[in-house]
Amino acid sequence: MLVPNDFRGLCHRHHLAATHQRQVIYEAVMSLPGHPNPEDIYARVRKKVPSISLATVYKNIRTFLNSGMLQEVSLHHGSLRVEANHHPHHHLVCVSCKSITDLDATSLGPLRFRQALPHGFQVKRVCVDVLGVCAACSGKAKLKTSKV
């Protein structure tokens, strides 16, 4: 759990006001496993701040993303997912249940662009998504096949 002074310092470093709602939202992100979506965060936050709206949670998540306190995960997989892991890493994405698991960047060889990027394009982060079927979903598929 983040100590209030730690959260204030984090907000200060990212040029944000350290409000109570932001602290509760950030703590929810940090306490949820994996790569939570705004609805999961909202459900956790409502336990501490029952009057908060889903729109407020979305707005603050977007603020955290814009400031760099959080990172958006798998932009093209259909729903907003966030993480606080700023260490270089990639993702294993299950195409069945949409679960996302971190994969250390050293698990893959060095990534290099084979051609020049378009003029003016600024790389902020390189993240590889490895698409597949997780063990849980693979096991479910095997169970369905064996019952037929």
Total domain count for the chain?
2
pLDDT at 27: 95
Q: 139 or 55: whose pLDDT is higher?
A: 55
Measured distance CA(4)–CA(26) in Å, rounded: 11
CA 40, chain centre distance (Å): 12
Domain that holds residue 138: 87-111+123-147
User: Is residue 129 situated within a structural domain?
Assistant: yes
User: Is residue 80 situated within a structural domain?
Assistant: no
Q: Which H or E element spans position 63?
A: helix 54-67
Pairing of strands 129-132, 81-83: unpaired
Q: What is the pLDDT of residues 49-66, one digit of tens each?
A: 999 999 999 999 999 999
Same domain, 131 and 107: yes
- Token pair listed for 1: 């759990």
User: Is residue 22 situated within a structural domain?
Assistant: yes
Give the CATH number, domain containing residue 47. Answer: 1.10.10.10
- 3-class DSSP assignment, residue 129: strand
pLDDT at 77: 58
Q: What is the pLDDT of residues 12-51, one digit of tens each?
A: 999 999 999 999 999 999 999 888 889 999 999 999 999 9
- Token pair listed for 61: 């998540």
Place of tokens 């490895």: 130
Same domain, 64 and 104: no
Q: Say if residue 148's pLDDT is above 60.
A: no
Strand order in the sheet with 129-132: 100-104, 89-94, 129-132
The span from the first CA to the last CA of the chain, in angstroms, equals 48
- Token pair listed for 17: 């006001």
Task: Choose one of 49, 73, 97: the last residue of a domain.
Answer: 73
pTM higher than 0.75 for the full model? Answer: no
Q: What is the share, in percent, of the chain residues with pLDDT greater than 90?
A: 41
Q: Say if residue 2's pLDDT is above 60.
A: no
Same domain, 11 and 65: yes
- 3-class DSSP assignment, residue 115: coil
Measured distance CA(117)–CA(13) in Å, rounded: 31
